[in-house]
């Protein structure tokens, strides 16, 4: 429509024929659309980001339904002098606070948990005593001491009700309505302030408090600051044109587009999610951009044609600007379509589609309404455009044109510098971490953050990961075998990183067991359960005689069909809790679940994990897809690959800069910040499109004379873009003054996006045009070589990425444990198939399969690994001869089928990682044993789980040389005494930083030899995981010599040689 | 090999697969785009399909077959209709108009023995230990359409042969009989990597018009078959071996003949013998390999102003290679080659000595998802050089993207300098179905 000037001119003649009518129609449309706004429903919860039928969400709802769980507020009482909380004064304070909190309207009275509401279980000679910790009436020191002793004998309450060091106690209160969390938090804070004294310090936090406080404070701060943003943006528009009559038009476009899009969203019953806050920002950005360009053109023509009528000037301006505005609208919409199409999270999908709608409405208002407003208001000449009357650009325009001209004249330098800056930005972007912790939304000195950190430090934590266990039949959980499985599950759960405690019904059954069986001398760490058919039912009946039958309603349901195990983690960070969630899910899927008993993960940590995992999966795909769509749209509208690519460079640079800033500044990529990329897209695509559009036209008329084209085009276009960028940048920079880091980041990053895309457009677009013109047609050989080397340099810069990418039973010494592990039988020879899964930190996996044969002979240990899947690496083989004599060099060979030859390879350092996995050569060779010569061992104690004794062993390399060879600084291991197999080994690197953890999830007895059949390594520094599953395991007496002959690598591996099918 | 022969072979292979179990059936698809910055134009736009098949009849007996269809829309690597006159009738690819070729790369039956393997069919036999340097890697000719830039396995031409590899005691014994006398595939005049150095143009100076070339090939028979024997064994950690080879030279000689009244350079082939030794060992982070070859009475062209002749001369070649596990997990390979034609007359069209240095470095990132590599070749004779930089991205197991830049510089008469205006930038996408 706007490609032909005559057609466009005629169109705008018709549009401006009846300006009042057009304005009335616009207002009617706006009012109708915006009438939906009161229907807008807010949903700022985490759960909105996950599809409603997602198992984690369903499990969470089930947990709430069955066990009545809801968000909690936590009040911590800490003695300032470090004395025990078991004192009359402290216990009295706990009682008072518990009663006050329980009386609040939004608190579930029956769900206040503290020393004042809970009881201990003890007993002897078959009698069970369920006694409250705090009795009625005046408390004496003796009462407090006795209460303390009973608390110590209650493992589920140690670290949860009272901290392990006894200096702090907690009151947990569940909310009725999370939407009123902020009011409740304020009320509790009032109680806390009143209770603060010289003896006791009170902190208030917890998930309910944090999310409620955050939600309402974001709203408050935003509602204070956003009008200021608005005023500043309008202020810049005024400054650009210095005419008040220039303001109503853009104002109408902004309000019309933003209000209409939100209103239509409300009419369609789409909730206003947390991420929807970005939508008005984008619509404002686009509306302002379109308006500034149109007004610039109008005032320019006004200055050049002083006698022309306003209507004709408007038509001229619209004819000139309609096409580029349409192009930017189309490309921006394409970008949002990409985000919407790729996203799997409903709020982001909704945001993307309605942002696209908002952009389209901004275009419509700019094309149809703004010209009519100008016709009606007839803005006079602008002082800022006076010099245009002599066809001389204004001061700002001149300066910007000079910058562009400089860039075009020195394109090689500019492009090389740009490449270097981009490489620097890429490096920063690679530091970007996908992570989330809600407390990071507060500044470090915010009381609620201090409170949350204090509570996490002193207690088990406030991050809950729940497991809902359901039996096939009612009363199925009264079966002692099923209950034992739950106990094993809990023990596994507690062995996982960051899990401080896992509390379930089995803990209470264990206490009942001790009381009834008079077994108080057994270590408290072991959960012992009755082993008779009706034992559990009988224990619970005995409990009901002394205690409240509803005491266990948070652990098991009335029908004894559903149980809850609550894990308490000491971290809210997704990056830290994810390995716990994944390991637990794997255990549940592969070990626990069967037809009679199923477990599902729930709780904040599980829901947050799925939310963040989805974001991780879809965010970059969405941004990449939207950039590709923007590129394709640009190519289509310009009908030129080169022009399309050049137009997209500034916005790509803006997105990259955004990621780089986030990477360097340690701002996580999480749902709140993920929308910045979309904003950068919306804001940034404008500048490149406008400049490319105008430069192409100018080139056509100036016969490829770069200097003349730049001189002609840049002043008006660059000026308009400058004010656009400045309006947005300065306007949103205002949010920097907010107290909330969330809003500071929001404002700062939008400003970064606006400024970086503009600067990139102004500097790079002319340079690219100049380069295209000069290099491909005119330059002599030496410069072509320079280009070849430059491209090669870019190849390297673009391709380079740096990757940062390591027990003792009573009666054993450390060396004895280590020797027992080292002497564990492993067979003279072994053959097995490994299924490998390699997963990077983004969750992308690769599968491999290999046949491994090993034989330990007098001279050396021989290992041969032949890949059988995937096809790309089939028959790739590795062979090593590791000589027992340290003076003899080890030998290694590699066979790559494509090269058709066996290659001798340098003997690998033991600490080198094996073929893209997280296991080193040493790990592969060692069969999970510790070389006695390599380490100095320390015994760290013993524990038991699942009825088995586990030894804790740690070790440090015996010398610096060994440390260098093996690549580890230290390790700690848990060794199962029954198999002498380490089941968990944590490695530190040589800087004593956590490096990786190896988990052995399954150990089987194969031909009399304990064999690890499921092993996983998690690299904490790179986020990469390697999972080995072993099968078809056999231990032949020996293997044919030729299998370990280098020549045999080329010959393949046959069944006859290894005793199994290939 | 004509299209009909390929079709016949396929018809034979097809039913054979029914007798066995198909272990692998896949198609590697590759798109190669190349751009020459100096002329400012695209120089290759290749679509390559490489279907491969592995059928197992028993744990010891299998059939391996791989084909290749290559179509180039830019047609600058092999302009016009691909010339196949350097191929024997057995191995000749089928030509698809001006677009490209279809050929069988591998088609052999392999039988595992108790301590060895036997293979009959079209295959590659790689006896050299060095990378890209032809000291002992003399059993298969090379396709030179991309000079040395193509990966070695890609550019090696498979030959119909019978091969036996057995270990007798501590000795590994390899025998090969190769009736296929295909020579190097030499780029046609006008091709991007046309060999323009005088040593490859029978002494004609750079810039001289290219004479018409005809190829004279002997028919296949025992006189044109190649025979090779290699013995090797481990002495502790050292592997050492010796080989002997007799077969038709892959590099053609030239002679001037008159055809239809005009001078034509006729390419023809003589036999040659190669006697070689190799040794390989590793010390700590270094693996070392060395090869030496002696070719007695090998024919080389000599040229005077009035005659183009060939003389038998002795040739000595030695190569040394080092693999180093460098710092920051970088792999470094350094190779030195020395080649000498003994008692070379001044009229020899090639230099009497060649000294070549190659350096290769690579590093992987992100658990081998990304690899950057750099290759540097330098010919010491005329100080001409080649630099090649590449970055490869592995997206999953089946897809790879490779971006590379190759640059040559030096004297136009040099081995590498002859391509000094043939720099290129390539983008390759490979996916295996």
Q: For the segment A527-586, what is each residue's pLDDT rounded down to a tens digit?
A: 778 888 788 888 887 777 767 767 788 888 888 889 999 998 888 788 888 888 988 988
Q: Which residues of A touch B126 (CB under 8 A)?
A: 899-901
Chain A closest-CA separation from residue B352 CA (Å): 30
- Determine the pLDDT at residue B381: 83
Helix axes A346-364, A603-638, angle to 10 degrees: 30
**Direct distance between the N- and C-terminal alpha carbons of chain A, in angstroms, rounded to an integer:** 66
Q: Which residues of B touch A1055 (CB under 8 A)?
A: 59
Calculate mean pLDDT across residues B381-394.
Answer: 91
Q: Which residue has the higher pLDDT, A999 or A1061?
A: A999
Q: Which residues of A touch B423 (CB under 8 A)?
A: 784-785, 788
Chain A residues 868-887 within an 8 A CB cutoff of chain B:
870-874, 881
ipTM of the complex in this document: 0.89
- Determine the pLDDT at residue A1060: 43
Calculate mean pLDDT across residues B176-205.
Answer: 90
Lowest mean pLDDT among A365-379, A552-566, A798-812, B238-252: A798-812
Beta-carbon separation of B403 and A795 below 8 A: yes
Which of A763-772, A868-877, B275-284 has the highest mean predicted lDDT (pLDDT)? Answer: B275-284
Q: What is the pLDDT of residues A1014-1054, one digit of tens each?
A: 999 999 988 899 999 998 999 988 788 888 888 888 887 65
Report residue B423's pLDDT band, with 50, 70 and 90 as the boundaries: very high
- Determine the pLDDT at residue B403: 95
Q: What is the pLDDT of residues A210-251, one digit of tens each?
A: 766 666 666 666 666 667 777 777 787 888 888 888 888 888
- Determine the pLDDT at residue A49: 67
- Determine the pLDDT at residue B232: 95
Angle of CA points A335, A339, A342, to nearest 5°: 135
- Determine the pLDDT at residue A373: 93
Which chain A residue's Cα is nearest to B24? A871
Helix/strand/coil for A417: helix
Which of A436-440, A965-969, B403-407 has the highest mean predicted lDDT (pLDDT)? Answer: B403-407
Beta-carbon separation of B280 and A904 below 8 A: yes
Calculate mean pLDDT across residues A290-295.
Answer: 89
Calculate mean pLDDT across residues B82-93.
Answer: 87
Beta bridge partners of A119: A132
Calculate mean pLDDT across residues A291-304.
Answer: 90
Lowest mean pLDDT among A390-394, B119-123, B161-165: A390-394
Beta-carbon separation of A846 and B397 below 8 A: yes
Closest residue by Cα to residue B343 from B381, B300, B291:
B300
- Determine the pLDDT at residue A557: 85
Q: What is the pLDDT of residues A256-276, one digit of tens each?
A: 998 999 899 989 888 877 667
Would an 8 Å CB–CB cutoff place A641 in contact with chain B? no
Beta-carbon separation of B405 and A1054 below 8 A: no
Q: Which residue has the higher pLDDT, A246 or A864?
A: A864
Alpha-helix runs per DSSP H in A268-309: 278-304
Report residue A771's pLDDT band, with 50, 70 and 90 as the boundaries: confident
> What is the distance between the alpha carbons of residues A679 and A278, in angstroms, rounded to a whole number?
7
Q: Which residues of B touch A624 (CB under 8 A)?
A: none
With a cut of 70, say whether residue B290 has pLDDT above it. Answer: yes
Would an 8 Å CB–CB cutoff place B327 in contact with chain A? no
Closest residue by Cα to residue A359 from A682, A685, A652, A633:
A682
Beta-carbon separation of A907 and B423 below 8 A: no
With a cut of 80, say whether residue B25 has pLDDT above it. Answer: yes
- Determine the pLDDT at residue A169: 93
Beta-carbon separation of A889 and B283 below 8 A: yes
Report residue B429's pLDDT band, with 50, 70 and 90 as the boundaries: very high
Chain B closest-CA separation from residue A641 CA (Å): 15
- Determine the pLDDT at residue A690: 84
Closest residue by Cα to residue B267 from B343, B188, B207:
B188
With a cut of 70, say whether residue A359 has pLDDT above it. Answer: yes
Report residue A521's pLDDT band, with 50, 70 and 90 as the boundaries: low
In percent, the amount of chain A with pLDDT more than 90 equals: 19
CA distances from A176 to A65, A70, A212 (A): 13, 7, 13
Lowest mean pLDDT among A355-359, A483-487, A625-629: A625-629
Calculate mean pLDDT across residues A424-444.
Answer: 79
Mean pLDDT of chain A: 82
- Determine the pLDDT at residue A45: 65
Report residue A1059's pLDDT band, with 50, 70 and 90 as the boundaries: very low
In percent, the amount of chain A with pLDDT more than 70 equals: 88
- Determine the pLDDT at residue B31: 92
Chain B residues 225-264 within an 8 A CB cutoff of chain A:
232, 234, 237, 239
With a cut of 70, say whether residue A366 has pLDDT above it. Answer: yes
Long-range pairs for A914-918: beta carbons < 8 A, 24 or more residues apart: A915/A865, A915/A878, A915/B368, A916/A838, A916/B364, A916/B367, A916/B368, A917/A836, A917/A838, A917/A1017, A917/A1026, A917/B367, A918/A838, A918/A996, A918/A1017, A918/A1018, A918/A1019, A918/A1024, A918/A1025, A918/A1026
- Are A323 and A2 in contact by the 8 Å Cβ rule? The answer is yes
- Determine the pLDDT at residue A315: 94
**Direct distance between the N- and C-terminal alpha carbons of chain B, in angstroms, rounded to an integer:** 27
Q: Which residue has the higher pLDDT, A971 or A797?
A: A971
Would an 8 Å CB–CB cutoff place A917 in contact with chain B? yes
- Determine the pLDDT at residue A805: 28
Alpha-helix runs per DSSP H in A478-561: 480-495, 505-517, 535-546
Lowest mean pLDDT among A379-383, A430-434, B62-66, B370-374: A430-434
Please state the separation of Cα A264 from the chain's center in Å.
Answer: 31
Q: Which residues of A touch B37 (CB under 8 A)?
A: 784, 787-788, 791
The pair of three-digit structure tokens given for residue A765, joined into one six-digit string: 């677009």
Residue B153 is nearest to which of A840, A899, A1046, comparing CB atoms? Answer: A899
With a cut of 60, say whether residue A796 has pLDDT above it. Answer: no
Closest residue by Cα to residue A200 from A191, A209, A213, A187:
A191
With a cut of 50, say whether residue A808 has pLDDT above it. Answer: no
Which of A126-130, A134-138, A367-371, A682-686 has the highest mean predicted lDDT (pLDDT)? Answer: A367-371
Residue A905 is nearest to which of B59, B125, B323, comparing CB atoms? Answer: B323
Strand ranges of the sheet holding A562-569, from the earlier edge strand across to the other edge: A499-503, A562-569, A463-471, A597-602
């Amino acid at each position: 429509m706007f490609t032909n000037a005559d057609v466009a001119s005629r169109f705008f003649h018709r549009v401006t024929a009846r300006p009042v009518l057009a304005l009335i129609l616009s207002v009617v449309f706006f009012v109708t659309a915006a009438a939906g706004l009161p229907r807008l429903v807010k949903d700022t919860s985490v759960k909105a980001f996950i599809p409603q039928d997602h198992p984690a969400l369903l499990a969470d709802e089930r947990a709430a339904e069955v066990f009545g769980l809801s968000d909690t507020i936590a009040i911590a009482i800490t003695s300032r002098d470090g004395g025990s909380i078991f004192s009359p004064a402290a216990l009295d304070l706990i009682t008072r606070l518990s009663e006050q909190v329980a009386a609040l309207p939004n608190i579930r009275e029956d769900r206040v948990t503290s020393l004042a509401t809970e009881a201990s279980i003890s007993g002897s000679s078959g009698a069970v005593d369920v006694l409250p910790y705090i009795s009625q009436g005046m408390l004496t020191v003796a009462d407090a001491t006795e209460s303390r002793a009973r608390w110590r004998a209650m493992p589920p309450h140690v670290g949860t009700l009272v901290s392990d060091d006894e200096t702090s106690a907690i009151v947990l209160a569940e909310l009725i309505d999370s939407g009123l969390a902020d009011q409740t938090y304020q009320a509790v804070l009032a109680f806390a302030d009143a209770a603060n004294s010289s003896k006791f310090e009170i902190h208030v936090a917890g998930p309910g408090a944090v999310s409620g406080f955050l939600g309402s404070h974001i709203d408050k701060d935003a509602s204070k600051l956003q009008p200021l943003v608005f005023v500043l943006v309008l202020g810049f528009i005024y400054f650009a044109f210095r005419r008040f009559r220039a303001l109503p038009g853009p104002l109408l476009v902004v309000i019309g587009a933003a209000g209409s899009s939100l209103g239509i969203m409300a009419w369609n019953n789409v909730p206003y999610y947390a991420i929807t806050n970005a939508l008005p920002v984008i619509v404002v950005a686009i509306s302002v951009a379109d308006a500034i360009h149109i007004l610039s053109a109008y005032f320019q023509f006004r200055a050049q044609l002083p006698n022309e009528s306003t209507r004709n000037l408007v038509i001229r301006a619209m004819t000139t600007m309609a096409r580029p505005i349409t192009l930017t609208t189309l490309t921006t919409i394409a970008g949002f379509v990409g985000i919407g199409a790729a996203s799997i999270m409903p709020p982001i999908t909704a945001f993307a589609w309605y942002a696209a709608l908002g952009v389209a409405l901004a275009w419509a208002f700019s094309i149809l309404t703004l010209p009519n407003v100008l016709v009606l208001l007839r803005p006079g000449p602008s002082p800022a455009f006076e010099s245009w009357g002599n066809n001389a650009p204004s001061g700002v325009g001149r300066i910007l044109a000079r910058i562009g001209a400089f860039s075009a004249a020195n394109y090689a330098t500019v492009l090389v510098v740009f490449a270097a800056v981009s490489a620097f930005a890429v490096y920063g972007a690679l530091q970007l971490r996908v992570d989330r912790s809600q407390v990071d939304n507060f500044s470090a000195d915010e009381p609620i953050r201090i409170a949350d950190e204090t509570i996490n430090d002193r207690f088990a934590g406030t991050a809950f990961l729940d497991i809902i266990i359901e039996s096939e039949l009612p009363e199925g959980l009264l079966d002692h075998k099923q209950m034992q499985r739950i106990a094993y599950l809990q023990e596994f759960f507690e062995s996982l990183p960051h899990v401080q405690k896992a509390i379930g019904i089995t803990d209470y059954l264990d206490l009942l067991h001790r009381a009834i069986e008079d077994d108080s001398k057994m270590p408290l760490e072991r959960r012992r359960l009755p082993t008779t058919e009706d034992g559990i039912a009988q224990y619970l009946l005995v409990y009901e005689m002394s205690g409240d039958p509803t005491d266990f309603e948070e652990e098991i349901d009335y029908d004894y069909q559903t149980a809850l195990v609550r894990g308490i983690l000491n971290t809210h960070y997704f990056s830290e809790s994810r390995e716990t969630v994944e390991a637990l899910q794997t255990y549940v899927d592969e070990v626990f679940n069967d037809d009679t008993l199923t477990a599902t993960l729930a709780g904040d940590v599980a829901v947050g994990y799925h939310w963040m995992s989805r974001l991780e999966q879809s965010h970059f795909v969405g941004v990449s897809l939207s950039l590709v769509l923007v590129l394709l749209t640009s190519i289509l509208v310009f009908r030129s690959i080169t022009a399309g690519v050049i137009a997209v460079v500034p916005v790509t640079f803006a997105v990259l800069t955004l990621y780089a800033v986030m990477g360097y500044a340690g701002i996580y990529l999480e749902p709140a910040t993920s929308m910045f990329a979309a904003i950068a897209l919306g804001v940034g695509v404008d500048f490149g499109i406008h400049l490319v559009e105008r430069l192409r036209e100018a080139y056509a008329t100036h016969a490829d004379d770069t200097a003349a084209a730049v001189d002609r085009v840049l002043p008006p276009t660059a000026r308009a873009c400058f004010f656009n960028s400045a309006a947005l940048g300065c306007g949103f920079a205002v949010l920097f003054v907010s107290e909330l880091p969330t809003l500071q980041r929001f404002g700062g990053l939008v400003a970064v996006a606006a400024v970086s895309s503009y600067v990139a457009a102004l500097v790079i677009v002319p340079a690219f045009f100049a380069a295209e013109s000069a290099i491909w047609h005119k330059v002599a050989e030496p410069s072509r070589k320079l280009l070849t080397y430059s491209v090669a340099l870019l190849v390297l810069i673009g391709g380079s990425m740096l990757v940062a990418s390591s027990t003792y039973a009573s009666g054993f010494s450390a060396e004895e444990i280590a020797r027992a592990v080292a002497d564990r039988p492993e067979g003279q020879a072994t053959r097995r198939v490994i299924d490998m899964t390699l997963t990077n930190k983004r969750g992308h996996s690769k599968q491999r399969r290999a046949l491994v044969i090993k034989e330990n002979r007098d001279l050396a240990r021989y290992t041969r690994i032949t890949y059988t899947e995937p096809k790309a690496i089939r028959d790739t083989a590795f062979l090593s001869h590791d000589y027992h004599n340290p003076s003899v060099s080890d030998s290694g060979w590699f066979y790559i089928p494509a090269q058709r030859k066996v290659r001798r390879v340098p003997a690998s350092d033991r600490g080198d990682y094996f073929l893209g996995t997280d296991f080193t050569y040493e790990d592969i060779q060692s069969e999970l044993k510790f070389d006695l010569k390599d380490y100095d061992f320390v015994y760290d104690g013993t524990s038991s789980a699942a009825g088995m004794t586990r030894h804790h062993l740690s070790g440090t390399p015996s010398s610096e040389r060994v440390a260098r060879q093996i690549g580890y600084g230290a390790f700690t291991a848990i060794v199962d005494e029954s198999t002498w197999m380490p089941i968990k080994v944590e490695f530190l690197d040589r800087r004593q930083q956590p490096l990786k953890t190896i988990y052995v999830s399954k150990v089987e007895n194969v031909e009399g030899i304990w064999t690890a059949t499921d092993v996983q390594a998690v690299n904490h520094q790179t986020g990469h995981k390697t999972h080995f599953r072993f099968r078809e395991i056999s231990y032949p007496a020996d293997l044919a010599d030729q299998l370990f002959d280098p020549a045999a690598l080329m010959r393949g591996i046959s069944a006859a040689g290894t005793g199994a099918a290939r | 090999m004509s299209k009909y022969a390929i079709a016949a072979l396929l018809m034979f292979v097809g039913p054979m697969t029914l007798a066995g179990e198909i272990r692998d059936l896949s198609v590697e698809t590759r798109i190669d785009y190349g751009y020459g910055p100096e002329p400012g134009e695209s120089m290759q736009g290749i679509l390559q399909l490489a279907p491969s098949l592995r059928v197992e009849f028993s744990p010891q007996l299998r059939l391996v077959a791989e084909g290749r269809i290559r179509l180039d829309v830019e047609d600058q690597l092999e302009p016009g209709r691909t010339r196949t006159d350097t191929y024997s009738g057995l191995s000749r690819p089928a030509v698809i108009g001006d677009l490209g070729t279809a050929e069988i790369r591998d088609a052999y039956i392999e039988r595992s023995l108790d301590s060895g393997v036997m293979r009959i069919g079209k295959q590659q036999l790689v006896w050299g230990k060095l990378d890209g340097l032809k000291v002992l890697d003399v059993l298969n000719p090379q396709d030179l359409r991309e000079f040395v830039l193509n990966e070695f396995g890609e550019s090696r031409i498979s030959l119909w042969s019978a091969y036996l590899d057995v270990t007798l005691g501590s000795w590994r014994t390899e025998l090969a009989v190769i009736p296929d006398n295909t020579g190097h595939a030499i780029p046609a005049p006008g091709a991007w990597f046309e060999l323009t150095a005088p040593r490859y143009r029978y002494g004609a100076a750079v810039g001289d018009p290219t004479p018409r070339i005809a190829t004279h090939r002997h028919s296949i028979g025992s006189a044109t078959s190649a025979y090779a024997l290699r013995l090797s064994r481990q002495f502790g950690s050292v592997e050492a071996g010796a080989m002997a080879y007799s077969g038709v030279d892959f590099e053609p000689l030239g002679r001037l003949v008159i055809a239809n009244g005009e001078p034509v350079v006729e390419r023809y082939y003589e036999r040659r013998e190669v006697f070689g030794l190799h040794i390989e060992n590793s010390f700590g982070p270094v693996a070392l390999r060395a090869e030496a070859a002696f070719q007695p009475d090998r024919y080389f062209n000599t040229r005077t102003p009035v005659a183009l002749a060939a003389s038998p001369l002795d040739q000595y070649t030695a190569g040394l290679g080092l693999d180093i596990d460098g710092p920051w997990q970088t792999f470094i390979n350094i190779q030195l080659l020395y080649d000498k034609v003994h008692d070379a007359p001044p009229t020899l069209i090639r230099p009497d000595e060649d000294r070549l240095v190659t350096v290769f470095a690579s590093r992987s990132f992100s658990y081998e998802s990304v690899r950057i590599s750099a290759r540097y070749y330098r010919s010491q004779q005329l100080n001409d050089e080649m630099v090649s930089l590449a970055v490869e991205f592995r997206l999953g197991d089946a897809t790879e993207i490779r971006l590379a830049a190759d640059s040559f510089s030096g004297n136009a008469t040099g081995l590498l300098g002859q391509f000094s205006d043939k720099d290129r930038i390539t983008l390759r996408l490979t996916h295996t179905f």
